[in-house]
Structure 1
Amino acid sequence: MKFGGSSLASAERIREVAEIICSFPEHYPCIVLSAMGKTTNLLLQAGQEALRVAPGAVPSLAPLRTIRELHRRTAAELGMGSREDIESLLSEMQQLLVGISIMQELTARAQDSLVSFGERLSTRLFASYLRSQGVATRQHDAFSIGMTTTDDFQNADVLYAETLPALKAALARPPGAPRAIPIITGFLGRGINTGAITTLGRGGSDLTATVLGAALGVEEVQVWKDVDGVLTSDPRIVKEARPVPMLTFDEATELAFFGATVLHPSAMQPAMQVSSLDVRVKNSYNRKAAGTLISRDRDMTDVLMTSIVLKTDVTLMDIVSTRMLGQFGFLAQVFDVFRDNQISVDVVATSEISVSLTLDQSKIWERDLIEEEIQSLMSAFGDFAKVSCTHNVSIISLICNVAKTSSILERVFRVLGRESVNVKMMSQGASKTNISLIVADAEGRTVVQALHDEFF
Structure 2
Amino acid sequence: MIVMKFGGSSVANAERIRHVASIIGAYQDKRPVVVLSAMGDTTDHLLEAADEAVAGNADISRIEKLHRDTADSLGLSGTDLQAVDALLSELYALLTGISMIRELTKRTRDYLVSFGERLSVRIVAAFLQSQGIPARFYDAWDAGLISDSVFMNAELSDDVWETIPEALGSYRDGIQKEIPVVTGFIAKDMNGNITTLGRGGSDLTATMIGAALQAEEIQTWKDVDGILSADPRIVARAKTVPLVTYEEAAELAYFGAQILHPRSMVPCRKAGIPVRVKNSYNPAFEGSLIIEKHTAEPSPVRAITAVKNSTLIDIVSTRMLGASGFLARIFDLFLKHDISIDVIATSEVSVSLTVHTNADLSGLVEDLKDIADIRVKTGRSIITLICDAAHSSSILASAFSALAENGINPEMISQGASKVNVGLVCENTLADKTVRTLHAAFFE
Q: Deviations over 1:377-407 (max 9, x none)?
A: 2233363344332111100011112122122
What SS does the aligned partner of 2:267 have? helix
Gaps of 5+ in 1: 366-372
Q: Name the CA distance, whole Å, in 1 between partners of 2:349 and 2:279.
A: 49
2:76 equivalent in structure 1: 80
Superposed displacement of residue 195, structure 1 = 4.3
What is the correspondence of 1:35-434 to structure 2 with a 5 Å cutoff?
A: 35-51=38-54, 53-55=55-57, 58-59=58-59, 64-82=60-78, 83-159=81-157, 161-173=158-170, 177-191=175-189, 195-275=192-272, 277-299=273-295, 301-321=297-317, 323-362=319-358, 365=359, 373-381=360-368, 383-434=370-421
Q: Check whether the contact 1:322–1:383 (CA below 8 A) recurs between aligned residues.
A: no
Change (3 A) 1:106 1:390: farther
Alpha carbons of structure 1 residues 445 and 163: separation in structure 2 relative to 1, 3 Å: same
TM-score (norm 1): 0.90
Provide the secondary structure at the position in 1 that maps to 2:302. Answer: strand
CA drift at 1:6: 1.4
TM-score w.r.t. length of structure 2: 0.92
Equivalent positions of 1:10-29 (< 5 A) are: 10-29=13-32
Conservation of the 8 A alpha-carbon contact between 1:245 and 1:291: yes
- Identity of aligned pairs, percent? 48
Q: Residues 43 and 115 of structure 1 are in contact (CA less than 8 Å); yes or no, is this contact kept in structure 2?
A: yes
SS at match of 1:40: helix
Is the partner of 2:159 in helix, strand or coil? helix
Looking at structure 2, the residues matched to 107 and 380 of structure 1 have their Cα atoms a distance apart, in angstroms, of 34
- Equivalent-residue separation in structure 2 for 1:196 and 1:317 (angstroms): 42
Counterpart Cα distance in 1 of 2:343 and 2:51: 34
User: Is the alpha carbon distance of 1:178 and 1:199 closer, same or farther for their aligned partners in structure 2, counting shifts above 3 Å?
Assistant: closer
Greater mean alpha carbon deviation, residues 6-15 or residues 98-107? 98-107
Where 1:209 maps in the other structure, the secondary structure is: helix
Q: For 2:262, what is the secondary structure of its paired residue?
A: coil
Alpha-carbon spacing, 1:155–1:415, altered in 2? closer, same or farther (3 Å): farther
Question: 1:260 offset after TM fit, Å?
Answer: 0.8
1:322 Cα deviation (Å)? Answer: 6.0
Which 10-residue stretch deviates more, 417-426 or 317-326? 317-326
1:170 aligned counterpart, secondary structure = helix
Whether the 8 Å CA contact 1:315–1:358 is kept in 2: the answer is yes
Report the number of matched residues: 437
Distance 1:125 1:439, change over 3 A: same
Deviation per CA, 1:273-294: give whole Å up to 9, x if none: 012x100011111111221111
Shift of 1:243: 1.3
Deviation sequence 1:295-325 (CA, Å, 0-9, x none): 1111462412111111011111222346332
> 1:300·1:401 contact (CA, 8 Å) conserved in 2?
no
Partners of 1:229 and 1:244 within 8 A in 2:
yes
Give unpaired runs (5+ residues) of structure 2.
Answer: none
Code of the aligned partner of 1:242: K
Aligned counterpart in structure 2 of residue 453 of structure 1, from 434, 440, 443: 440
Q: SS state of the match for residue 261, structure 2?
A: coil
Compared CA separation, residues 177 and 288, structure 1 to 2 (3 A): closer
Shift of residue 25 of structure 1?
A: 4.0
Task: Evaluate the alpha carbon distance shift between residue 104 and residue 320 of structure 1 in structure 2; reply closer, same or farther with a 3 A threshold.
Answer: farther
Query: Are the equivalent residues in 2 in contact too, given 1:230–1:243 (CA < 8 A)?
Result: yes
Return 183-192 or 375-384, whichever deviates more.
375-384
Q: 1:343 to 1:151 in 2, by over 3 A?
A: farther
Cα deviations by residue, 1:340-364 (Å, 9 ceiling, x for unpaired) = 33332111112223222111245xx
Structure 2 SS opposite 1:387: strand
Is the partner of 1:139 in helix, strand or coil?
strand
Q: Does the 8 Å CA contact 2:382/2:426 hold for their aligned counterparts?
A: yes
1:245: how far off? 1.0
- RMSD (Å), alpha carbons: 2.1
- Partners of 2:346 and 2:317 lie apart in 1 by 11
For the Cα contact (< 8 Å) 2:321–2:349, is it kept in 1?
Answer: yes
DSSP-derived class of the 1:26 partner? helix
Provide the secondary structure at the position in 2 that maps to 1:406.
helix
Offset of residue 122 of structure 1:
0.5
Tell me: CA distance 1:278–1:50, structure 2 relative to 1, closer, same or farther (3 Å).
Answer: same
Cα distance between partner residues in 2 of 1:146 and 1:24? 24
**What displacement does 1:145 show?**
3.7
**Cα pair 1:247 1:293 within 8 Å, conserved:** yes
Q: Matched residues in 2 for 1:270 and 1:219: separation?
A: 14
Whole-angstrom distance in 1 between the partners of 2:154 and 2:379: 29
Distance of 1:29 and 1:431 partners within structure 2: 34
1:34, CA displacement in angstroms?
0.8
Q: Give the superposition deviation at 1:50.
A: 3.4
Separation in 1 of the partners of 2:98 and 2:25? 41
How has the CA–CA distance of structure 1 residues 236 and 154 changed in structure 2, closer, same or farther, with 3 Å as cutoff? farther
Question: CA 1:189/1:319 → structure 2, altered by over 3 Å: closer, same or farther?
Answer: farther
